[in-house]
Amino acid sequence: MQRMTEQELTNDVVARFGKTPDARLRQLMQALVRNLHSFAREVRLTEDEWMATIQFLTATGQISDNVRQEFILLSDTLGLSMMVDMINHGSDSAGVTEPTVLGPFYVPGSPERGSGESMIEFEDDGEESIVSGRVLSADGTPIAGAVLDVWQNSANMFYAVQQPDVQPPTNLRGIYRSDDEGRYAIRTIRPTPYPIPADGPVGAMLVATARHPMRPAHIHVKASAPGFRSVATHVFDKRSEFLDSDPVFGVKDSLIVEFNPGDDGLLHCEVDFVLDPA
């Protein structure tokens, strides 16, 4: 009797999914099997390495909860989140704001804030700043009533959701809207670098692969408007460390901006958000 080959095993497993009623699920499962088997063959995966992977994934699930999603963090640090984002939200239109990772600390339901209103609710010696600009269509037309859902970490390097006993829950979070000329203004603090959670399996992976956990300083923005494609993006501080080694691969040159001193004693940052028509 002829012995089964590695490729024959792969073919058999792929065929078992051939009767999956949902065509898209069938495509996903068969491609997943082919690529997992190909990986195992390429690296000649040992039983110890297979078990270590199972234990790693188990620990990733065990540390996750309704606030911390270690699997998203794992996806981020493998560049998968950024790849999915580019596939689904990339644009061929010149000048359109580039997307980047949403991150694990987004919380829906931020408070509505007026133009120029501060979203600082916790004093931590951060450098007060005004982020302002316009929301535009790809052809340069101002977009009135666009929604900017904004959030960032405190100067102590933590997001409000990470410190429920320290920071007010809506600190450095806010929903702003553009005016009739597409203009908006946000009063906040200059962002600071911070570490992604490194006390779990993902942190152990970073240590083992000689990578650091520090994200460069940035502000998160989800920009949307009726009739346009929404975008989740970042505003990166040009003077920040770690711009060339972001552990979640979120930095893009077009998203890096200057924070400059103003005559009013505040830092000022000018950023336009350009949206593609839907």
The reply to whether 62 falls in a domain is: no
CATH of the domain at 177: 2.60.130.10
SS3 40: helix
Domain membership flag for residue 32: yes
Do 24 and 136 fall into the same domain?
no
Are residue 156 and residue 213 in the same domain, yes or no? yes
Judge whether 199 lies within some domain. yes
Same domain, 132 and 182: yes
How many domains, the chain? 2
- 113 shares its domain with 10: no
- Whether 103 contacts 76, CB under 8 Å: yes
Per-residue pLDDT for 264 more than 90? Answer: yes
Same domain assignment for residues 88 and 189:
yes
Q: Is the pLDDT of residue 119 over 90?
A: yes
**pLDDT score recorded for residue 156:** 95
* Residue 77, pLDDT above cutoff 90: yes
If asked whether residues 5 and 137 sit together in one domain, one would say no
Same domain, 14 and 147: no
Residue 66 within any structural domain of the chain: no
Single-letter residue type at 128: E
Give backbone dihedrals phi and psi of 184, rounded to 5 degrees, phi first: -145, 160
Count of alpha carbons within 13 Å of 135, Cβ hemisphere only?
28
Give yes or no: residues 87 and 186 share one domain. Answer: yes
Pick from 136, 162, 160: nearest CA to 150? 160
Residue 67 confidence (pLDDT) above 80:
no
Q: Torsion angle, CA of 229/234/235/241, rounded to 10 degrees?
A: -160
> Do residues 218 and 172 share a domain?
yes
Distances (CA, A) of 222 to 81, 89, 165, 248, 275: 16, 12, 26, 18, 11
In a domain, 167, yes or no: yes
Which tens digit of pLDDT belongs to each residue from 16-57?
999 999 999 999 999 999 999 999 999 999 999 999 999 999
pLDDT score for 90: 82
Residues 90 and 199 in one domain: yes
Sign of CA dihedral 196, 172, 225, 259: negative
Is residue 41 included in any domain, yes or no?
yes
| pLDDT at res. 143 | 98
Which residue segment(s) compose the domain that 226 sits in?
A: 74-275
CA 275, CA 140: separation in Å to the nearest integer?
A: 10
Say if pTM beats, i.e. exceeds, 0.85: yes
Local confidence band at 204 (pLDDT 50, 70, 90 cut-offs): very high
In this structure, are 87 and 14 located in the same domain?
A: no
